[in-house]
A and B are shown apart, each in its own frame.
Chain A
Amino acid sequence: MTQYLLSVHYVEGQGATPPEEMQEAFEAVDTFNKKLMESGQWVFGGGLHTPDMSTVVDATGAQTVTTDGPFSEAKEQIGGFWIIEAADLDAALAIAAEGSAACRGPVEVRPFQDEPPADADA
């Protein structure tokens, strides 16, 4: 079993979805989520507020600096995500396809690292 991050990507300011379609997408995602929970593949998931609601905290220096976000000025942003557990990449990709159809956005599938190994891989 491997855990995967399924992140939903969108381009800011590109075609706002009409409200009735939004409603359909919400319902589809809800159904999809329930299915994931029933199959035991659900770890966590949710939709995010828009990037302008974010705050960046940087404590790498002597003082903690807090600024109005987002961190990345890129147009492409994450709108929401799931964390799932799947047998292998093919299983994760199949789930991602369902999720993408439900939320009407492309989904990036990215594996979580295993617990750090004791020594570096050759």
Chain B
Amino acid sequence: MTDAPTADDIARVFRDESGRCIATLVRVLGDIDLAEDAVQEAFVTAAQRWPVDGLPPNPGAWITTTARNRAIDRLRRESSREHRETEATAMATPNEPLDVGPLPDDQLRLIFTCCHPALSDEAHIALTLRLIAGLHTPEIAAAFLVPEATMAQRIVRAKKKIKATNLPYRVPDAAELPDRLRSVLAVLYLIFTEGHRSSTSTDLVRRDLCAEAIRLTRLVCDLMPEEPEAVGLLALLLLTDSRRETRVVDGVLVPLPDQDRERWDRDEIAEGHDLVRRCLRRNHPGAYQVQAAIQAVHTDADTAASTDWVQILALYDLLVPFAPTPVVQLNRAVAVAEVRGPDEALAEVELLDLDGYVPFHAVRADLLRRVSRTAEAAVEYDRAVSLSPSDPERRYLEQRRAALA
């Protein structure tokens, strides 16, 4: 395909390559803003040149080299005024054209910078989507339902803090790595769940978040193939995402047992199962790996009735020490209901301090229904309906409430 690229082709190159280009330029220039500006300028040049000259054989390398040359030209012009340190970094290697070849570590370093604990949780997500995923600020703002100015301000402040505090671009050493990697994986998980939650809406920008989270997690796995929790997270996201098309039908939420399994994404399931097996062989379990294994059991069953709940309950027992949260206990109680009956499950649910959490009220309502405490179930459904922020979920809960009588 050496035909003249269209604007769409160039946009796709931007999406695929800008993260890697920015990461490399940050290394070369030592400054995020300079790197972003340079890559932006290089794409403007590309938009003029490529339709005439055709797509270069390696568009990413073309962008990176062009961006680097632009940045260094600019630094030379402005050298008497500002950015003395940055200038020194870039000028120290003025005649090394190949130092812009991407090092696999470039993006990894930048991910750890974006998710550094000295920055706020909100900044982690915004910077990761912008610098690693190559999303534009308006897209990120739309995805998180905040005004564009707010998101822009958040990004500016975070970048300013990186610069002011001299926050390093590096992969943490072995002692810090477990903690720091945990925070990177937590950010990727949050990006996914934000998109997943909105798969109950029709907002396409937000649905893209799931794809981005999977792409970024894949990147972390490629860069750190020895980290079982990174692999576990990728498996968890793929297996959860495989059900995306079946979660809402005609604007009503469809719970897992009632989903059309024929329409689950077989490729994602196959890859997810393969990754779970890899984790099992390695035998260094962690919270994401166990959650992925639970999803693997669900996606392994041809019908809801053939689900191996005993296995799922055993996995929840394994998960609890890694993630001793009431939400995990609630999910475990669902498995308890299948294995040991609703009475025992209800007794465990009653101990949880989750008032106001919609799934808590929905699960409690269902258990009350199953033990024939219908009037209490109705009250509980009402509570869930009143709290739910999602239309499809609310419609589903209203249907369940109506079916009680």
Binding site for B on A (CB under 8 A): 2, 4, 87-90, 92-93, 109, 111, 113, 117-119, 121-122
Contacts and interface: CB of A to CB of B under 8 A. Distances in A.
A90 B82 contact: no
Contacts of A89: 116, 118, 165-168
Contacts of B116: 89
A114 to B, nearest CB: 8
Contacts of A109: 165
Interface in B89-124: 116, 118
Contacts of B168: 87-90
Contacts of A113: 164
Contacts of B167: 88-90
Interface residues of B, number: 12
B281 interface: no
B170 interface: yes
Contact of A121 (B82, B165, B172): B82
Interface of B: 33, 81-82, 116, 118, 164-168, 170, 172
Contacts of A119: 81-82
A111 B165 contact: yes
B166 A111 contact: yes
B395 to A, nearest CB: 48
Q: Lowest 5 CB-CB distances: which A-B pairs, in order?
A: A88-B168, A2-B166, A89-B165, A89-B167, A111-B165
Nearest to B169: A88
Nearest to B112: A90
Given A90-B172, A111-B165, A113-B164, 17 more contacts: A2-B165, A87-B166, A87-B168, A88-B167, A89-B118, A89-B165, A89-B166, A89-B167, A89-B168, A90-B167, A93-B118, A109-B165, A111-B166, A117-B81, A118-B82, A119-B81, A121-B82
Contacts, number: 33
A88 B81 contact: no
Given A89-B118, A93-B118, A111 B81 contact: no
A119 B81 CA distance: 7
21 contacts: A2-B165, A87-B168, A88-B166, A88-B167, A88-B168, A89-B116, A89-B118, A89-B165, A89-B166, A89-B168, A90-B170, A93-B118, A109-B165, A111-B164, A111-B165, A111-B166, A117-B82, A118-B81, A118-B82, A119-B81, A122-B33
A87 B168 CA distance: 9
A87 B82 CA distance: 21
Contacts of A4: 165
Contacts of A122: 33
B183 to A, nearest CB: 14
Contacts of A87: 166, 168
Contacts of B165: 2, 4, 89, 92, 109, 111
Contacts of A92: 165
A109 B164 CA distance: 12
Nearest to B173: A90
B141 to A, nearest CB: 22
A8 to B, nearest CB: 18
A55 B172 CA distance: 44
A89 B164 CA distance: 9
Most chain B beta carbons < 10 A, residue from A90, A113, A117, A119: A90
A92 B168 CA distance: 11
A31 to B, nearest CB: 21
Contacts of A117: 81-82
A111 B166 CA distance: 8
B235 to A, nearest CB: 31
Contacts of A111: 164-166
Nearest to B117: A93
Contacts of B164: 111, 113
A35 B168 CA distance: 23
Nearest to B80: A118
A109 B81 CA distance: 29
Contacts of B33: 122
Nearest to B85: A114
A117 B33 CA distance: 17
A80 B172 CA distance: 30
A8 B166 CA distance: 21
A117 B80 CA distance: 11
A56 B170 CA distance: 43
Nearest to B180: A90
Contacts of B166: 2, 87-89, 111
Nearest to A118: B81
B179 to A, nearest CB: 12
B95 to A, nearest CB: 27
A118 B84 CA distance: 11
Nearest to A110: B165
Contacts of A93: 118
